[in-house]
Structure 1
Amino acid sequence: MAPVPKKKTIKHFTHPGHDLAEISTNEEYLCGGCRTPGGVGTRYRCHHCDFNLHEYCGSCPSTLSSFMHPQHHLNIVVRTQGARQNQRICDLCGDSVEGLFYRCKLCDFDVHPLCTQLPQYVRHALHPDHQLMLQPSVPGWCAVCKSVCSSWRYRCKTCSFDIHLECILLVPSNGASTSRSVPPTGPPPHFYWAAPPPPHGAHGYGVPPGFSPQYNPVSEAQGSSKPSKGKKLGKMMYTLVGKLTIGVIANVLFGVGDFSSSS
């Protein structure tokens, strides 16, 4: 009988008292590193202290170069919980940053570790002629939910075509319009990808090796077809990142089959 392989363990500066064991779970949890939610997939856990860590937070580099802030490198920062400091906001998703996050001090730019793993380019069925780039821009209208995009979104600058982060995985309704206000000719697939291969394999785009796509990040968004102005992504971000990243690597056609509809 073959020996049972030992579980992987790591040491991490956010929890110096004990080793963290790698586990796979179907339960939601709060990451003790970046203080944002996690879900189905692999994480690191200290059972003694009920401490959990996103797999990416357990391995993210201390310095990061990102298209989100190409002017300067981003440095990892640990913000002590409960410290008397001004509230800081993730420039990308709008949620507060606590614990572990990336920061450019020169530009006052802050971003969650998970948010840095969103892919730069996607292609969407509502705008198949051009790639959409993740970027901030002037206010525009989301082509999926028809409400205002006021912060980071997937955008075609040439056509002034915008889609909210929280709407990118939603199957377009019959009323969704293209950038030229021409209705789709048929029920299009949700979206598909054409992106360059990741620089360091799957982990180059930040997808945790044990991430499971069987967790639907759009369940909350579907409760309201029009996200409110300044809506925070909250626990939606973990699976949003995971599914988008898997889509980039595998060139998945979303909106078809079980991948996008699973919960």
Structure 2
Amino acid sequence: MEMEKRSRQSNKPPVRVSTQVTKLNMEITEMNHPSHPHTLTLKPPGVPYHCSGCQELGFGPSYRCDYDDCRFILHDECANAPSTGVHRFFKNSHFKFYEQPPGSKTRVCDACGKDILGFVYHCPRTEYDLHPCCMKLKESISDNGAKITLKLCNKVPSNCLKCNSRNTFNGIAGWSYASRDGKYCYHVSCVKEMVVEKWKMGYFSAGESNRTQMLDYESQVAMTSTEMMQIGQGSIGRTVSKYIRIAKIMFKLIFSAIFGDPISAIAALVEAMVSN
């Protein structure tokens, strides 16, 4: 972290973003980014990391600094963030990319409800803010068999399966991924919180014990979040099993939409979380 701080305090002027492809055993993309004085190299998905740009968790491809012990790292979407953007949920907003949140007050992402701590898309006129990773969320996601399709919603159609509420933890409505009929949904913020919490506890490290813990944890989450939905219904056992299965598949899809498709080791862990 000390090296990262020294890198950010470098007297070198910002370098205009550029990319170049170098042939080694494979094609490796390198770039110079205005937020960092050293060259960044594109790396394939590996262990989970903390993005130095938006300060959010990442699992997918990243741009990393190989200079000495510098630990600077950027999400692919943070490293290649366009200078401006629009979003269909905010039709009157024109977003500009900032390396630091503008103004003195604490800004909150209008998609996930989490604080903005670094890179952000901000509309000066409407005051809306989005994390780069939230800005790029897909409008719809489906499982391989297309049996379950989830749609990104800015108005939560039903209580979140995780928190059993329509609002996020800080009272913001936030976005959710919901089933076509609107009966099942997860807040984007709830999935983020769930994954970050377990990452901090070491659940994404290698080991069968961690994999089993995650499977048990997600089963408990799915069971708790659906218990209220079972009151007054028949065939309780089969109904609960159905809801748990749907909740797990939804979690897997949303995990990939937010964090990117994980490498095989993490994919196996996620698979365990959504297995019957």
Q: Structure 2 length as normaliser, TM-score?
A: 0.56
* SS class of match (1:7): strand
CA distance in 2, matches of 1:25, 1:178: 38
Looking at structure 1, the residues matched to 249 and 98 of structure 2 have their Cα atoms a distance apart, in angstroms, of: 35
Paired AA for residue 141 in structure 1? N
The corresponding residue for 2:263 is: 212
Counting only pairs closer than 5 Å after superposition, residues 73-84 of structure 1 correspond to structure 2 as 73-79=94-100
> SS of the residue aligned with 2:44?
strand
Deviation of 1:177 after TM superposition, in Å, equals 7.2
Partner of 1:53: 74
- Aligned partners of 2:229, 2:180: CA distance in 1, in Å? 11
| Structure index of larger Rg | 2
Q: How does 1:4-83 map to 2 (within 5 A)?
A: 4-5=25-26, 7-15=28-36, 17-24=37-44, 26-39=46-59, 41-48=60-67, 49-79=70-100
Give 1:89 deviation, angstroms.
Answer: 1.1
Q: Distance in 2 between matches of 1:6 and 1:78?
A: 28
What does residue 100 of structure 1 align with?
Answer: 119
Q: Which amino acid aligns with 1:88?
A: R
Structure 1 distance, partners of 2:225, 2:54, is: 38
2:88 is paired with a residue whose SS is: coil
Alignment RMSD, CA only?
A: 4.3
Task: Give the % identical residues.
Answer: 19
Per-residue deviation at 1:33? 1.6
Residue segments in structure 2 that go unaligned for 5+ positions in a row: 1-22, 168-172, 195-217, 251-256
Does the 8 Å contact 2:162/2:225 carry over to 1?
no
Asked if 1:176 corresponds to 2:193, the answer is no
Shift of 1:93: 1.5
Q: Which amino acid aligns with 2:41?
A: A
Closer/same/farther in 2, CA of residues 103 and 214 from structure 1, 3 Å limit: farther
Q: Supply the AA of the counterpart residue of 1:46.
A: C
Deviation at 1:79, TM superposition (A): 1.0
| Pair 1:147 & 2:164 matched | yes
Higher helix share: 2
Residue segments in structure 1 that go unaligned for 5+ positions in a row: 193-204, 217-256
Structure showing greater relative contact order (alpha-carbon pairs closer than 8 Å, 6 or more residues apart)? 1
TM-score (structure 1 length as normaliser): 0.58
- 1:65-86 Cα shifts (integer Å, max 9, x gaps): 2223232232211217xx9821
Number of corresponding residues: 202
1:63-121 deviations in Å (ceiling 9; x for gaps): 222223232232211217xx982111111112221331111111110010011222223
